[in-house]
Structure 1
């Protein structure tokens, strides 16, 4: 619930490694216009299944015919066939593929439980020997903590692709509304309550109408993380209490946070449509000037906040302190270190070439795939990276390939974010979030009991929405917690703490 877990090319004149087809011996061949060099070996074919990430291609291009795939193929001497299942039924499609008689050489997975289940069934190749042989850049740029999350019984079953940001949400508010109502930027939870109330009831936009929203949330309590953080908890995380890991959703602190949100809803201070709000609704309501305070994603300054400022030049948005709760606590959830995992089904004859491809994406090709082609998508001007936004937007699909083996390079990330417009404060926003994280203490491969019970237990969390809406009494939380433990949660908790003791001897 609410934890979104679950993303760019100078053609280098460096050398490219290819496979000598007959002998299987590695040979190094120069790239570029080296007419006198040996002829390239015929390209070896590999097939991959990955996510489109919701992006689209410019007219005339597709997932198998575009300059970025050409770039990867040229530098790896591979012929890569890409399949993009529908985003809406992605995992279902992966399951169908895994039961077929013609599996691809690589699949991109986003669910750790999915990977853990297939690893335990013996349907995924162990990759550590191939990584040692063909993945030096992967070994160098992916931290041990990420490898640990794809390791089962001492064997590595996936190549992790990393999240660029360690967290998502921070509070943003309209300073012009605060000034009009004679309010200071809120810091404590009580001050937030007063500001939310004033923004809902005191006509902060001055139009004489009762049409403003005190607090904007989205479906499944999305964009609520700072308010749970004020009580020292987050949804869907494992937190340490007295030396043991406990599931955050059953903690008394979570009940306190739900009680606070319930109070706001009872007083009509939360957008009444929040259970139906998707990100599109959130963006629209902010852009049209209905909202003066919300938990923003770090990139929203370049999205709905900017759209609001374009429509209303008087709108002045500022980052706010996270709400500090009654025990002095504050913060938001940390995103998973891993954004996706590349797995090789058992029996693929091309596992080595998959690792070679991913090694190039994480290594020599990373800068170009992440940023786009130099002097086309971006250029250096007076020592600063400057983005051509028309080309940047046209080339967003490159993220499909970057996401296969994304790695974190802080200086490159700062250059990239600043080039999108320093006034958007993107890099600063990321740093603010990262300094206020409540980390998830369980970072291992999902346990067997998670595979058996977690989907059913997650469905029980619908009770939280009912509690906030007043459909269920607040004490229904206690019955939810009891049921969670009884229907598999205690077994999951036991396995999680076995992992925790083994990881922290």
Structure 2
């Protein structure tokens, strides 16, 4: 356990201006005597990545690069993506848990903080984490600090928001429609796409709007009513959960109206991302809330299938009270925790510190002259090699930091025609701020999983016409009684403390 004076010194470093240490140079060898016999076992997310022939998660050039420059030998386990956090639970309760586990679930993280099953990392970060201290902002550290103890090393979200609406301009032109701006204009465009045969094949086989399971890819439409999923907004001096606000009920009423009018894809409860992507690529969808990077994936696939397809970004829909916007992502993308039983916290911090510091460029961009080159100040990416080396993200994403110039150069280098950086700029100018950015509260660790499931199931039933809109009011009461009020109390206790 870190002594009080050490914790205070670390806090001073986080908050003081100019407190940053040099990141070091590429391929600097560590002192082999200090690194002697260091080995760690890690369980991390594969991100759906595969490996080139004759390589795997424990045998590839990027892991070799990390091991060479840290002196830490790393044994990697990649659980299946389906049921990932449940697998982590099984691993945590085993007799010999690994030295590092990575999760993107705040509730999972907080549950094990509550169980006192995680190693406080303050002292290790102070001694071995110069790059982590320099590159991770105080807000992110606050998100993983409970009662003065840092229980995880956060990996940062490189982007501040995700969703942007894209539409088929060739369909708009064919039907004599302009780009919509208000939610009413959006509704008319989507109705026309569903009813007026925009692809000209004589069949009613296009959707006005398609979304994903659990109401994914609805953010701009929720924003038109002044709310977002899983956020906290100030109301009368207190923070209130977005899912129980009248604004959310109004948004659900709107989405239900699209379903009742056969504008919304009726199969949306079954639409995982690959299913939605296939519908876009096949030309069945002409307007949807895209991820900022979809211009390189699903939209690009549709343009390949239909050379006449022209996609354009739209302004976010303006709702009845002139509201508009999209959700803002958390500063923290994922949590790297060290189980209390591990004896290798120092090696874990050294491993992550290298990824955040001197290894960041190679792990984010790939190896220079192999994946990319810089000529005349411009970065050019060899796309075939970029894709082949994509698995590097498994390691780089463990301690992602935000390097704005690197982000811009990388996104432009992937192809200016995809508008990746411009998409992010448009999103970032329309973010709806989530006012709660503290660590998950103790009650969240106890209740959040069941409350999230309750919300997802209730909202899906309402939009899909299975339940009447009045079920929203029953949901609000059940949410409050099943731990929501306890969470709200803790969130507002945090809110009061941060405003002192």
TM-score class, shorter-chain normalisation, is over 0.9
Q: Does 1:16 align with 2:33?
A: no
Cα-to-partner distance string for 1:325-360 (whole Å, 9 max, x where unaligned): 011100111122111111111242221111111111
Residues 348 and 471 of structure 1: CA distance in aligned 2, closer, same or farther (over 3 Å): closer
Q: How does 1:132-143 map to 2 (within 5 A)?
A: 132-143=126-137
Q: Deviations over 1:192-248 (max 9, x none)?
A: 011011111111122222221101111111111111100000111111111111111
Once the two structures are superposed, the pairs formed by residues 46-445 of structure 1 within 5 Å of their partners are 46-445=40-439
RMSD of aligned residue pairs (Cα, Å): 1.5
Give, in angstroms, the shift of residue 163 of structure 1: 1.0
Cross-structure match for 1:36:
none
1:485 equivalent among 447, 459, 480: 480
How far the C-alpha of 1:12 sits from its partner, in A, is 6.1
Q: Counterpart of 1:8? A: none
Counterparts of 1:13 and 1:400 in 2: how far apart (Å)? Answer: 20
Paired with 1:429 and 1:190, the residues of 2 have a C-alpha distance of: 24
Deviation at 1:378, TM superposition (A): 1.0
Hey, what's the Cα distance between the residues in 2 that align with 1:61 and 1:471?
A: 48
SS of 1:88's equivalent in the other structure is: coil
Distance 1:473 1:50 in 2: 41
Displacement of 1:452 in angstroms is 2.0
SS in 1 for 2:82: helix
Instruction: Give the alignment partner of residue 489 of structure 2, picking from 483, 487, 494.
Output: 494
- Partner of residue 9, structure 2: none
Please give the alpha-carbon distance, in whole angstroms, between the structure 2 residues aligned to 1:151 and 1:254. 31
Q: Distance in 2 between matches of 1:65 and 1:152?
A: 37
Q: Distance in 1 between matches of 2:323 and 2:299?
A: 27
Q: Secondary structure at the match of 1:81?
A: strand
Q: Which runs of 5+ in 1 are unaligned?
A: 1-10, 22-40
Partners of 1:440 and 1:503 in 2: how far apart?
Answer: 15
Alignment partners' CA distance in 1, 2:264 and 2:107: 34
2:40–2:344 Cα contact (<8 Å) kept: yes
CA contact (8 A) 2:40 2:348 kept: yes
Distance 2:83 2:469 in 1: 35
Give the drift of 1:191.
0.5
Cα separation, partners in 2 of 1:401 and 1:14, compared to 1, 3 Å: closer
Offset, 1:14:
5.1
CA distance in 2, matches of 1:246, 1:321: 28
| Corresponding residue to 2:464 among 466, 469, 481 | 469
Moved more, 87-96 or 52-61: 87-96
Q: Which range moves more in the overlay, 249-258 or 208-217?
A: 208-217
Q: For residues 468-492 of structure 1, give each alpha carbon's deviation from its aligned partner in whole angstroms, at most 9, with x where no partner exists.
A: 1222111111111111112221111
1:120 deviates by 2.6
The count of residues paired between Structure 1 and Structure 2 equals 476
Deviates more, 1:373-382 or 1:178-187: 373-382
Structure 2: give runs of 5+ residues left out of the alignment.
1-23
Q: How far off is 1:116 after superposition? A: 1.7
Offset at 1:432?
Answer: 0.9
2:107·2:449 contact (CA, 8 Å) conserved in 1? no
* TM-score, reference length from structure 2: 0.93
Q: What residue number does 1:455 align with? A: 449
Residue 294 of structure 1 aligns to a residue whose secondary structure is strand
Taking the aligned partners of 2:93 and 2:283, their CA distance within structure 1 comes to 50
TM (norm. structure 1) is 0.92
Q: Is the 8 A contact 2:38 2:73 kept in 1?
A: yes
**1-structure distance, mates of 2:341, 2:32:** 20
Provide the secondary structure at the position in 2 that maps to 1:87.
coil
